[in-house]
Structure 1
């Protein structure tokens, strides 16, 4: 089935894929999903946020077990990130039928919309809207590089943007979710194992840095008279690397827009996007604060004077002391009470005991959710608010936060990004948080059932975000399987998985679905 998708959105010059959400390529892939569903006699539904669900059995009476992933890509991405999970879900369902298995619960295949966030800048849009983490009014106002809003794009695709928003009815049909994904690192290759299971997902977020100066002539403006934001950009890139090393985290400046972008003009404005991830929420937030300080350490406003600073990184006092305000959990567990992942992406084995944090599923059903129409957990988000995705989806998070200022109570958690700002002469630095996902530790009972059913596979923590993490944070029992990537490279045309390993992944997924559907 992957071969049938190989031509869609492929750049022949690079071999990479460009499959932006709601683009022609994405719409073609959605058509492919509908065709595969019909071929298997599955009931296809598209929820109010554009996520696709194909069901073997009726989930309205009893929540089902769902597998799947996404079909969109980063720009110039690889062939496996996302599609491998969707294709493997269909293939696992086929294998269950070949075995003559009769599931005791409905089985679903899901395709989530706009997981990568390549077009509109916010990842996991479909699952965030579904669970109520992303406010629909914010989502509809997101713009792409051409200035088109998500609302515009949805209308052109024949969808009604007024329907976006929390969807507890759809969420209630998901009793458990298992996402298979190509590994985006080298752990399984180092272990010489074809398949692994997920332990946790690191906290991660995206921040937009607006660096403002003064546009001027490149040949007539003296160096001493320049307000050049490109110098701030250079400092941002270098400081991101050093700050990440200090805080044992990861930081990437991967997208830049320069205005007016002329070879013979000093720019007036540079927008740069920071992706930051780490083993704890505290380490990521300290990294962003540290980076902001380094960009503004020559400002007359004294933003790094050692006093309290409030911004899109949370509330931090003095050097390295993180106060448990603004949504920060001092345990670093992102609002969860079962502890945090280790300081590095570790791997443990289900029978080894070490590193398998979190308590057993108190329901005694091994992580399967049944009967409840609303998720059971809430997650703390930046800005001081708690986003609860139960009945009614409480979006009470405080919104806009400025350096040294207070919170705007009109905000909506994920729906209202925080901001910080400072200036130096003609140069201005503004920071806005565009997305945030706390630490997710997959439910221990389900995680151990998945690892055993898949054949006692190694258990891995990951720094990559996934829809499974969004669902888990919303209280849906979720788990992940990883398929070995011999290159260890992802978000690149070099991303790869061997056919034999993909088959091993399908068998493991089918075994997991069979176990969860008994």
Structure 2
């Protein structure tokens, strides 16, 4: 499966992945998913929001156990973020069939669309739409960097944008959703464990800072006559680092757009996107408020106007404790907050994470859980993202054990 999926959407120069929603690369990944489902004799369907489902058994029976993740990527992302969960889902099904497992509940595998938000700026679009956390009207207003709207992109890919929206009947069929994901950090590497269980997702959001100055000639305009928006933007980037460092948080300006974007032109607009996350809401609010205060002070000092818009926000997600503890019992290990060594001699630590996931979105409407697979470098959202084959196999076997345990309540 990895060999078939590996080249899809990979940039020849950067070697990173550019699997953006409703693009040819996305279509190739979707075709790969369909082929995997059909090869295994599963029923394949695409819901109104473009999420793909592969079913063993009739989902209309309800109380289904579902696993999976996403196949799209951030710009020049790595091979494991998302795809590891989908590949592992199919591999876990293969393992259960090898064991001769009797499926007493429907089993589903899902590929959620546009999880990363790389094209339209909003993460987890597919799961947000299905769970009712993103309205059709708001989704229709989303545009990419070229001004193409989400409806136009969907139509170009052969989908109906007028059909999107909340899908409660479909989600009501699901009794539990378990998402396997490569860890986006080094907690497991530092603890020496191959697999962990998610405890909570930090609250996080994205804010757009628009610094508006005055375009002018870079060679003839005196420094004292300039209203250069690049200067307060640069100072705001540094302020974000300082504020996050003193508040147990992270804050990143990872995307910037400049107009007119000429080497010999003073910009008229610098637009930067802040991504900030923290263990609790109070710390996150404090960091973002301090960054905005600093940005406004620097903008005023340079005669620049500033608009700040919150583009997305996800509150803290506490994964279902009963499901988490049950997973610990299935794996034969206690998943206390520090982890516990069981009969296997391994531990399954409970990890907090600053990364958002579809499982976090769906936790608002159904029981969800996550398994993490060790990332020896901690690098993610980069071509250097990595997990060893042995750890990936350990993750597949752990997922198979969990699915088998959930299928037999």
For residues 63-115 of structure 1, give each alpha carbon's deviation from its aligned partner in whole angstroms, at most 9, with x where no partner exists.
20000000000011100000000000011111111111112110000100000
Partner of 2:80: 80
> Structure 1: which 5+ residue stretches go unaligned?
300-422
1:251·1:277 contact (CA, 8 Å) conserved in 2? yes
Instruction: Please say if residues 258 and 270 of structure 1, whose CA atoms lie closer than 8 Å, have aligned partners that are also in contact.
Output: yes
Equivalences, count: 394
Select which of 300, 324, 327 maps to 1:447: 324
Structure 2 match to 1:468: 359
The normalised TM-score by structure 1 is: 0.75
The answer as to whether partners of 1:455 and 1:508 remain within 8 angstroms in 2 is no
Query: Within the alignment, does 1:508 sit opposite 2:398 as a pair?
Result: yes
CA contact (8 A) 2:229 2:302 kept: no
Give RMSD over aligned pairs: 1.2
The 2-side partners of 1:42 and 1:471 are apart by 23
- CA deviations 1:383-427 (Å, max 9, x no partner) are xxxxxxxxxxxxxxxxxxxxxxxxxxxxxxxxxxxxxxxx66741
Matching of residues 243-392 of structure 1 within 5 Å: 243-297=243-297
SS in 2 for 1:111: strand
- Superposition pairs of residues 68-467 of structure 1, within 5 angstroms: 68-297=68-297, 426-456=303-333, 457-467=348-358
Partners of 2:354 and 2:55 in 1: CA distance:
31
Change (3 A) 1:455 1:490: farther
Higher helix proportion: 2
Q: State the SS of the aligned residue for 2:297.
A: coil
Partner of 1:32: 32
1:167-217 CA-to-partner distances (Å, cap 9, x unmatched) read: 111111111000000011111111111111111100000011101000001
Q: State the SS of the aligned residue for 2:355.
A: coil
Runs of 4+ residues deviating >4 angstroms: 423-426
Alpha-carbon distance in structure 2 between the residues aligned to 1:255 and 1:298: 19
Residue 298 (structure 1) shift: 6.1
| Separation (CA, whole Å) in 2 of partners of 1:273 and 1:298 | 17
**CA apart distance, 1:145:** 1.2
Q: Aligned partners of 2:372, 2:274: CA distance in 1, in Å? A: 26
Deviates more, 1:104-113 or 1:446-455: 446-455
Whether 2:28 is the aligned partner of 1:22: answer no
SS at match of 1:60: helix
> How far has the Cα of 1:449 moved from its partner?
1.2
Q: Does 1:5 align with 2:5?
A: yes
